[in-house]
Amino acid sequence: MSKRNGESGLNRRHFLATAAAATTAVSALSAPAVLAQGRPRVVVVGGGAGGATAARYIAKDSKGAVDVTLVEPSRAYYTCFFSNLYIGGFREFASIGHSYGALAANHGINVVHDWAVSIDRDARSVGLAGGGSLAYDRLVLSPGIDFREGSVPGWDLSQQNRMPHAYKAGSQTQLLKAQIEAMPQGGVYCMVAPPNPFRCPPGPYERISMVAHVLKQANPTAKILIVDPKEKFSKQGLFEDGWQRHYPGMIERVGPDFGGDKVEVRPDSLEVVVDGEATKVDVCNVIPAQQAGRVAALAGVTDESGWAPVVPHTMESRADANIHVLGDAALQGDMPKSGFSANSQAKVCAMAVRGALIGSSVFPPRFSNTCWSLIGTDDGVKVGASYEATDEKIAKTDGFISKTGESAELRKATYEESLGWYAAITGDMFS
Amino acid sequence: MTAPCTASANGLRSTKASGRHRPRPAGLAACLASGLLSVALLMVLSAAAWSADAGRGKALFDQCKRCHQVGDGAEHRIGPQLNDVFGRAAGSLADYRYSQAMKAAGAGGLVWTEATLDAFLSDPVALVPHSRMSFAGMAEADDRAALLAWLGGFSGPRSDLPPAEPTATPEEFGLDPRILAIEGDPEYGAYLAGECITCHRMDGTVKGIPSITGWPLDDFVIALHAYKGGKRVHPVMQMVAGRLSDEEIAALAAHFHRAEDSP
Ligand SMILES: Cc1cc2nc3c(=O)[nH]c(=O)nc-3n(C[C@H](O)[C@H](O)[C@H](O)COP(=O)(O)OP(=O)(O)OC[C@H]3O[C@@H](n4cnc5c(N)ncnc54)[C@H](O)[C@@H]3O)c2cc1C
Question: What are the structural domain ranges in chain B?
Answer: 24-156, 177-258
Instruction: Select from B195, B207, B263 the Cβ nearest to the Cβ of A366.
Output: B195
Residue A56 lies in a domain: yes
Residue A34 lies in a domain: yes
Cβ burial B18-43 (10 Å sphere, 16+ → b, else e): beeeeebebebebbbebbeebbeebe
pLDDT of residue A177: 98
Measured over all CA atoms, what is the biggest interatomic distance in chain B, rounded to whole angstroms? 56
**In A, what residues contact B, Cβ < 8 A?**
1-6, 9-12, 15, 57, 340, 343-344, 347, 351, 361, 363, 366, 368, 370, 382, 384-386, 397-400, 402, 413, 415-421, 423-425, 427-428, 431
A109 and A207 both lie in a single domain: no
Please give all residues whose beta carbon lies within 6 A of any atom in ligand 1, as ranges: A 45-51, 71-74, 77, 80-81, 83-84, 115-116, 142-144, 167, 199-200, 203, 207, 293, 295, 327-329, 337-340, 342, 371-372
Query: Mutate which of B209, B212, B217, B218 to disrupt the A interface (most A C-beta within 10 Å)?
Result: B209
Whether A337 and A200 have beta carbons less than 8 Å apart is answered as yes
Query: What is the β-pairing status of strands A379-389 and A367-376?
Result: antiparallel
Last residue of a domain, one of A305, A334, A364: A364
Structure-model confidence comparison of residues A299 and A9, the more confident one: A299
Residue A32 lies in a domain: yes
Distance from CA of A188 to the nearest CA of B (A): 36
Residue with the nearest Cα to atom 51 of ligand 1? A80
Q: How many domains are there within chain A?
A: 2
Whether the predicted pLDDT of A308 surpasses 60:
yes
Nearest to B150 by CA among B58, B64, B16, B65: B58
pLDDT of residue A16: 41
| CA–centroid distance, residue A57 to ligand 1 (Å) | 18
Domain residues for the domain of A155 are 150-288
pLDDT of residue B4: 39
Chain A hits for B263, Cβ within 8 Å: 427, 431
Residues forming beta bridges with residue A44, ordered by sequence position: A70, A140
**In B, what residues contact A, Cβ < 8 A?**
178, 181-183, 185, 187-188, 191-192, 194-195, 197-201, 203, 206-209, 235-236, 238-240, 242-243, 246-247, 262-263
Residue A24 lies in a domain: yes
Shortest-distance atom of ligand 1 to CA A50 = 25
pLDDT of residue B51: 55
pLDDT of residue B260: 77
pLDDT of residue B250: 97
Last residue of a domain, one of A364, A383, A407: A364
Shortest-distance atom of ligand 1 to CA A52 = 25
Distance CA A293, CA A72 (A): 13
Residue with the nearest Cα to atom 53 of ligand 1? A167
Whether B51 and B39 have beta carbons less than 8 Å apart is answered as no
CA A116-A66-A423 angle, 5° bins: 75
pLDDT of residue B159: 75
Instruction: Report pLDDT digits (tens) over A210-248.
Output: 999 999 999 999 999 999 999 999 999 999 999 999 999
A122 and A241 both lie in a single domain: no
- Which residue of B lies nearest to A399 if distances are taken between CA atoms? B239
pLDDT of residue B174: 83
Mean pLDDT across the stretch A338-344?
Answer: 98
- How many CB pairs (< 8 A) connect A and B? 112
pLDDT of residue B49: 47
Distance CA B155, CA B150 (A): 10
Residue A404 lies in a domain: no
pLDDT of residue B160: 81
| CA–centroid distance, residue A241 to ligand 1 (Å) | 29
| CA–centroid distance, residue A168 to ligand 1 (Å) | 7
Q: What is the DSSP letter of A405?
A: T
Whether the predicted pLDDT of A33 surpasses 90:
no
Q: Do B201 and A427 touch (CB under 8 A)?
A: yes
**pTM of the full structure:** 0.89
Instruction: Report pLDDT digits (tens) over A88-144.
Output: 999 999 999 999 999 999 999 999 999 999 999 999 999 999 999 999 999 999 999
Mean pLDDT across the stretch A50-78?
Answer: 97
pLDDT of residue B35: 43
Q: Mean pLDDT score of chain A, rounded to an integer?
A: 92
Chain B hits for A361, Cβ within 8 Å: 187, 191
Residue A267 lies in a domain: yes
A82 and A167 both lie in a single domain: no
CATH number of the domain at A95, please. Answer: 3.50.50.60
Query: Mutate which of B188, B192, B197, B199 to disrupt the A interface (most A C-beta within 10 Å)?
Result: B199
Nearest to B134 by CA among B78, B210, B223: B210
Chain B hits for A384, Cβ within 8 Å: 235-236, 239
Distance from CA of B246 to the nearest CA of A (A): 9
In this prediction, residue A30 has a pLDDT band, given cuts at 50, 70 and 90, of: very low
A182 and A165 both lie in a single domain: yes
Fold of B177-258: Cytochrome Bc1 Complex; Chain D, domain 2 (1.10.760)
Instruction: Report pLDDT digits (tens) over A171-220.
Output: 999 999 999 999 999 999 999 999 999 999 999 999 999 999 999 999 99
Contacts 24+ apart (CB under 8 A), A212-215: A212/A243, A212/A246, A212/A247, A212/A250, A212/A251, A213/A88, A213/A89, A213/A246, A213/A247, A213/A376, A213/A377, A214/A87, A214/A88, A214/A89, A214/A180, A214/A181, A215/A180, A215/A183, A215/A189, A215/A250
Last residue of a domain, one of A250, A271, A288: A288
Whether A166 and A173 have beta carbons less than 8 Å apart is answered as yes
Q: Do B200 and A424 touch (CB under 8 A)?
A: yes
A316 and A280 both lie in a single domain: no
A301 and A242 both lie in a single domain: no
pLDDT of residue A196: 97
Instruction: Select from A347, A370, A421 the Cβ nearest to the Cβ of B194.
Output: A347
pLDDT of residue A160: 97
Q: Do B240 and A368 touch (CB under 8 A)?
A: yes
What are the φ/ψ torsions at residue A344 (nearest 5 degrees)? -65, -45
Would you give per-residue pLDDT tens digits along chain B (263 residues)?
A: 333 343 333 333 333 333 333 333 344 444 444 444 444 444 444 454 455 567 899 999 999 999 999 999 999 999 999 999 999 999 999 999 999 999 999 999 999 999 999 999 999 989 999 899 999 899 999 999 999 999 999 998 877 888 899 888 888 888 888 999 999 999 899 999 999 999 999 887 777 899 999 999 999 999 999 999 999 999 999 999 999 999 999 999 999 999 877 65
Query: What is the β-pairing status of strands A308-311 and A316-317?
Result: antiparallel
Architecture of the structural domain at B24-156 = Orthogonal Bundle (1.10)
Task: Tell me if B24-156 shares its fold with B177-258.
Answer: yes
Q: Do A3 and B181 touch (CB under 8 A)?
A: yes
